[in-house]
């Protein structure tokens, strides 16, 4: 393991949750001050437009605060940009697409406000036997990428590991009894990796009304992280999405959100070393919880409810018995959330998939988290993604730099 990674982890342990930048890999170099730019991976809403990476100025003293100050196009509409992630040194940003099965690698170290495209991985099906790159999870000197599907758009999914520059290292396919793949997260101090489930390309490429709701997983896989070996298969409500470990050192438990179960599930390790799951909270019928984030002190979970237009804040002081603490309505169909390292702000976008969106009003908004954990929408921060110079865009995933 690199010395810089060890130092970062040591500082995080010494400082408790003070340096926590939630929902990034623990191996990623942390920001040491307030954010200056917000990267937004965006889908062109106009078929004649260009998909691309938007850069929003979020430095408070700036004259262009709250404005899109740069846009890096990656090709004609139809790629379906989805998620992205930093390499461990925060020098590169990996961003991928769910329809064209491509990964774009940007340099964000030289000039963070002006990302530069370094490399495009456009033969992923042939290279890995997989399709639909989803989660971009930094490991020391490499990237772990989950894929939703096999190369033909069916099953099984799996994950692949690459060098930071984009060279393939190895591939792991999901087992036949748990073929669905989605998210991945590592808890290094307990040597465990957990992966979750969604649905393959053959399903999510269709309009939502045509989806086969039975073509999805209900499993979490627990892996021996160092040996990349599956130890257990756990079950939850249908389609567990985000994997969020407790941020506290040595705590071998976490949570996931079931999209079709409208629920939060707890997973954790018992005294015998084995993991189990249990339903921890019901979020409300028909809400479709799309994203799940947490506060740096592990006090709250934040859930975006795509179909009921809510962001719910849950008090998880008791990890297995969350309590609803607050509800915010930031606008129609909130999806991705990004919590700042100090836990005081949450950026929000409102596009999930082009096959699922039911609004044509796309934006990035900001909620402030008060000392009491209450959420308040910032009335002065509202980035209208329908008015980008290159035409309207669906704002999806976000990263801060």
Q: Which residue matches tokens 């929408």?
A: 377
| Per-residue DSSP letter, 275 | E
Cα 26 to chain centroid, rounded:
14
Question: What is the pTM for the complete model shown?
Answer: 0.95
- pLDDT tens digits, residue range 149-168? 999 999 999 999 999 999 99
Q: Is the pLDDT of residue 217 over 70?
A: yes
Count CA atoms closer than 13 A to 313's CA, side-chain side: 23
Arch. (CATH architecture) of 3-400: 7 Propeller (2.130)
Please enumerate in sequence order all residues whose Cβ is within 8 A of that of 123, keeping only pairs 6 or more positions apart, or say none: none
Judged by DSSP in three states, 297 sits in coil
Q: What is the overall mean pLDDT for the chain?
A: 94
Q: Are 136 and 82 in contact (CB under 8 A)?
A: no
Mean pLDDT on 34-57: 97
**Per-residue pLDDT at 16:** 36
Q: Among residues 124, 180, 173, 177, which one has the least CA distance to residue 148?
A: 180
Structure token pair of residue 127: 């290279």
Task: Convert the pLDDT of each residue in 117-131 to its tens digit.
Answer: 999 999 999 999 999
Q: Is 127 helix (H, G, I), strand (E, B) or coil?
A: helix
The per-residue pLDDT for range 261-278, each reduced to its tens digit, is 999 999 999 999 999 999
The residue ranges of every structural domain in the chain are 3-400
């Amino acid at each position: 393991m690199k010395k810089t990674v060890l130092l970062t982890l040591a500082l995080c342990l010494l400082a408790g949750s003070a340096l926590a930048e939630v929902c990034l890999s623990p191996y990623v170099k942390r920001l040491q001050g307030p954010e200056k730019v917000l990267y937004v991976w965006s889908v062109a809403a106009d078929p004649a437009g260009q998909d691309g990476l938007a850069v929003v100025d979020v430095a408070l003293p700036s004259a262009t605060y709250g404005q899109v100050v740069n846009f890096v196009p990656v090709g004609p509409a139809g790629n379906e940009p989805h998620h992205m992630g930093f390499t461990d040194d925060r020098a590169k940003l990996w961003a991928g697409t769910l329809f064209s099965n491509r990964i774009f690698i940007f340099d964000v170290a030289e000039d963070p406000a002006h990302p530069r495209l370094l490399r495009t991985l456009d033969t992923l099906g042939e290279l890995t036997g997989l399709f639909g790159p989803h989660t971009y999870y930094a490991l020391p000197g490499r990237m772990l990428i989950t894929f939703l599907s096999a190369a033909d758009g069916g099953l099984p999914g799996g994950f692949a590991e690459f060098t930071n520059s984009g060279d393939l290292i190895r591939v792991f396919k999901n087992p036949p009894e748990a073929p669905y793949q989605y998210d991945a997260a590592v808890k290094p101090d307990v040597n465990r990796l957990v992966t979750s489930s969604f649905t393959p390309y053959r399903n999510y490429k269709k309009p939502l009304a045509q989806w086969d709701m039975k073509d999805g997983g209900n499993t979490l896989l627990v892996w021996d992280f160092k040996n990349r070996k599956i130890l257990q298969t756990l079950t939850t409500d249908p389609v567990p999405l985000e994997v969020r470990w407790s941020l506290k050192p040595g705590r071998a438990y976490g949570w996931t959100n079931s999209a079709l179960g409208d629920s939060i599930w707890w997973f954790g390790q018992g005294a015998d070393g084995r993991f189990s799951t249990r339903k921890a909270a019901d979020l409300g019928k028909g809400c479709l919880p799309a994203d799940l984030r947490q506060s740096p002190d592990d006090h709250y979970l934040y859930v975006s409810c795509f179909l009921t237009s809510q962001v719910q804040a849950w008090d998880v002081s008791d990890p297995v018995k969350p309590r609803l603490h607050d509800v915010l309505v930031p606008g129609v169909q909130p999806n991705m959330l990004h919590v700042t390292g100090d836990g005081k702000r949450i950026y929000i976008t409102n596009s999930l998939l082009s096959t699922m969106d039911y609004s044509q009003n796309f934006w990035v908004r900001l909620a402030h988290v008060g000392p009491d954990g209450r959420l308040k929408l910032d009335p002065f921060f509202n980035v209208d993604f329908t008015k980008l110079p290159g035409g309207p865009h669906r704002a999806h995933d976000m990263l801060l730099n």
